[in-house]
Each structure stands twice: as C-alpha cells, then as structure tokens.
C-alpha cells in the first residue's frame, strides 16, 4: 500500500500509525485525505494489528476541513462531502483494534471530529480542541453534533458548538474530551498501544465490540451481550493461556486465537 499524498502510514511493533500529512495547510481535511484514510483503514481491517494511532505532522493534528475546497460547494456537494467524511469516520470508529488519537496542536472542526472517532484521545500540552463551524456559518458535518454530546454531555457540547470556542488541553481533560495530557503525545500513544498489545488480543477486541454494540442499549440488554462475549472467551486459546500463566505465576504468551 503506497502512493498516499495526504497521509503517511507505517506499522511499528504491530501498531499501525496514520499521520495526517499536509503540514503547510495544518493538515486540513480535504476529499483526498478522507478517501486515503478510508483506504488505509480498509487495508488494515482484516489484520492482527494490536492498535492504531492517528496523529498529525507538524504543528497541528488537523485544523479542520479544507475551507478553500468547501467554499465553492453547492448544497448538494456539501452534503456529499459530509456523507463521505461520515463513512470514513465510521470506519475508524468501528475499527476492530483499539484506536488512539495523539493530538498535537489544533484539533478543530473536522480534526476534532476525527479525534472523537478514536477510542482514546491523548492530548499534547499545547493541543486545542473545538467545533468552530458556526464562525463560518455552518455546523459540524462529520459527526460532531453526535459524538461531542456523548463525550462531554449535552450542555457543554452545545456551548462549545454554539460559541465556536476552543478549549486548551487542561479543559479538554476536565470535560472528558481527552483522557490525559502527555508531554510527548506520540511517545505516550505508542507506550499506551504497547501496553494494550501485551494483553489478550481476542479479549481486547471483544471489550471494544461489546462497548460499541451496547452503547445505546438498556442495561439488561447490554449485560446479555456482555455475558455472551464473556462465554466466547472460554472457547479461545488466549483464555487457556492467560489463566494457566496466572496460576503458574508467569507472563502469558497470547496468540490471538
């Protein structure tokens, strides 16, 4: 897989890394970048990656969607751009392995929406988050109206989206938008991915699947899904190895089977 122009990709110690790579434009998201992120995720979906990290090249994670491209859109073209972005972000949101956003600098508009599709958001000390679309006379189009509410609650989300206000790293953590601040956010994301990679791969994927599947279920329905997935673990080699290793007081050698 090669030939990408707006992103770069690599696999390091079984962790996939996607780097948004339009630094001169502060990694503004255009149609091509949306397509290339989707292609990278499609190529990795059936892999055994332990995790995927998403980050940005240079001073920004992604400063938003590319306004120079959007400014000439018709209403129909704008809707199609939103739908295309939503499809790609759903691929990221439902990627089978854990996903980590390593936010360095601005994560605004589409950049914030992209980060929110990851399971965990780590913030650099100078990161700034926001949905400033109202400053341009539009609303979020890549899922911000849905995911920001689920991340920070209705009241805080409405305030952020209606004022277009940016929040610094400390406030993002206090709101629950980011998990924590890392001095070197990419190094922190790699360390987190490495820690996850030590655990049982089947269990890690089932944790994500159950949480995603039951997100809007009532508690009883969610518990039934959890119990079923818990039972499935006991048909895996990973469960046998994990419990045997615990009893033998040694590290487990998981195979993902």
Which one of 93, 133, 195, 241 is the catalytic residue? 133
Among 57, 113, 171, 241, the one annotated catalytic? 113
Both tokens of residue 205? 């994927």
176 torsion bin: left (phi>0), alpha (psi -120 to 50), beta (else): left
- Nearest Cα neighbor of 25 from 129, 110, 88 is 110
113 is catalytic: yes
Query: Between vectors from CA 130 to CA 125 and to CA 132, what angle results, nearest 5°?
Result: 145
- Give yes or no: 133 in active site: yes
Give the E-state strand segments of 44-148 in sequence order: 51-56, 60-62, 99-103, 106-108, 120-123, 128-130
CA distance 103 to 193: 15
Spatial CB neighbours of 14, under 8 Å, sequence gap ≥ 6 = 48, 49, 50, 197
Residues annotated as part of the active site: 113, 133
């Amino acid at each position: 897989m090669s030939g990408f122009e707006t992103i770069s990709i690599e696999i390091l110690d079984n962790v996939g890394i996607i780097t948004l790579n339009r630094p001169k434009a502060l990694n503004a998201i255009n149609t091509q970048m949306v397509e290339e992120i989707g292609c990278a995720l499609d190529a990795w979906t059936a892999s055994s990656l332990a995790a995927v990290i998403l980050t940005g090249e240079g001073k920004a994670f992604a400063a938003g969607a590319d306004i120079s491209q959007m400014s000439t859109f018709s209403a129909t073209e704008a809707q199609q751009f939103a739908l295309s972005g939503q499809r790609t972000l759903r691929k990221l949101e439902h990627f089978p392995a854990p996903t980590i956003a390593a936010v360095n600098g601005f994560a605004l508009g589409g950049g914030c929406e992209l980060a929110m599709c990851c399971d965990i958001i780590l913030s650099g000390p100078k990161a700034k988050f926001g949905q400033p679309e109202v400053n341009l006379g539009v609303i979020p189009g890549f899922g911000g109206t849905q995911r920001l509410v689920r991340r920070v609650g209705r009241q805080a989300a409405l305030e952020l989206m209606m004022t277009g206000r940016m929040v610094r790293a400390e406030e993002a953590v206090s709101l629950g938008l980011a998990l924590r601040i890392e001095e070197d956010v990419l190094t922190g994301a790699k360390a987190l991915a490495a820690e996850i990679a030590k655990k049982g791969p089947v269990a890690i994927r089932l944790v994500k699947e159950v949480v995603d599947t039951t997100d809007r279920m009532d508690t009883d329905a969610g518990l039934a899904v959890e119990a079923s997935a818990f039972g499935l673990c006991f048909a895996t080699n990973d469960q046998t190895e994990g419990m045997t290793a615990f009893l033998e007081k040694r590290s487990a050698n998981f195979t993902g089977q």
